[in-house]
Amino acid sequence: QLQLQESGPGLVQPSETLSLTCSVSGDSISSDSYYWGWIRQPPGKGLEWIGSVFHTGYTYYTPSLKTRVSISVDTSKNQFYLKLSSMTATDTALYYCARLVGYAREAHPDYWGQGTLVTVSS
Amino acid sequence: QSVLTQPPSVSGAPGQRVTISCTGGNSNVGAGYDVHWYQRLPGTAPKLLIYANTNRPSGVPDRFSGSRSGTSASLAISGLQAEDEADYYCQSYDASLSGIVFGGGTELTVL
């Protein structure tokens, strides 16, 4: 059974870079059938797609975060990663990793991790 | 504000039928992009409930159904059960924003 597990710091200082890892089990991240992505939900707000990556390393990012975000993949570890720089309080959110099915930017999540809460505060 | 608009909350008694609307625009639902629905039970990961407007993944009861028309979509839940109490989210693709977008979520309460 597919499982995705986010890991990373729960607290980040303002202006620092957030680094999160998503560990995938039950499926190969090298599959040509899926993309892998990150989605977040600030407290009291809706879900926001951050970006997606294919196993080749090709990435798609939401335009509003494009200058600050980097998503990468390590097929040998069956993991993918999120880096978000210049963190501010508005980046405080529950961060989910997900498997996405479909094509490129239109691919939609079909499996999600449990999510990890990231708070930006000094 | 979310690109797709959902009612913040809906409620119904056990056994009843409820519907949750999802209203978009001409760059997403109205442009023909598929709508997908997710259920998030308290403290759990979101689960894909309906994909491509009307399709249920394996294991999802046929009490759940989806539809799409024009710039809107709907999720219907019939034979409401206590275990259906959860947050529900719609999702589509938006060509203007060049990415997938979500509704703000609807909290379902089973009375």
Low-confidence residues of chain B: pLDDT under 70: none
Average confidence (pLDDT) over A85-114:
95
CA distance to partner chain B, nearest, from residue A90 (Å): 14
Shortest CA distance from B2: residue in chain A = A46
Q: Per DSSP, which regions of chain B are E strands?
A: 9-12, 18-23, 36-40, 47-50, 64-69, 72-77, 86-94, 99-102, 106-110
Give residue B82's Cα distance to chain centre: 18
Question: How confident is the prediction for chain A on average, in pLDDT?
Answer: 96
State whether B45 and A63 contact (CB < 8 Å).
no
CA distances from A40 to A24, A47, A67, B51, B81 (A): 18, 6, 17, 20, 29
Q: Which of A10, A7, A11, A9 is nearest to A121 (CA)?
A: A11
What is the C-alpha to C-alpha distance for residues B68 and B34, in angstroms, rounded to an integer?
8
* Minimal Cβ distance to A49: which of B44, B45, B99: B99
The rounded percent of chain A whose pLDDT value lies above 70 is: 100
Q: Tell me, what's the pLDDT at B43?
A: 85
CA distance to partner chain B, nearest, from residue A51 (Å): 8
The pLDDT-based confidence of A35 (bands split at 50, 70, 90) is very high
State whether B45 and A48 contact (CB < 8 Å).
no
The rounded percent of chain A whose pLDDT value lies above 90 is: 94
State whether A49 and B105 contact (CB < 8 Å).
no
| Residue written as token pair 């089973």 | B110
State whether B45 and A47 contact (CB < 8 Å).
no
Q: What is the DSSP letter of B55?
A: B
Q: Which of A93, A103, A111, A10 is nearest to A46 (CA)?
A: A93
Q: Tell me, what's the pLDDT at A30?
A: 95
Q: Tell me, what's the pLDDT at B42?
A: 86
Q: Tell me, what's the pLDDT at B1?
A: 82
Residue A65 predicted with pLDDT over 90: yes
Q: Tell me, what's the pLDDT at B110?
A: 96
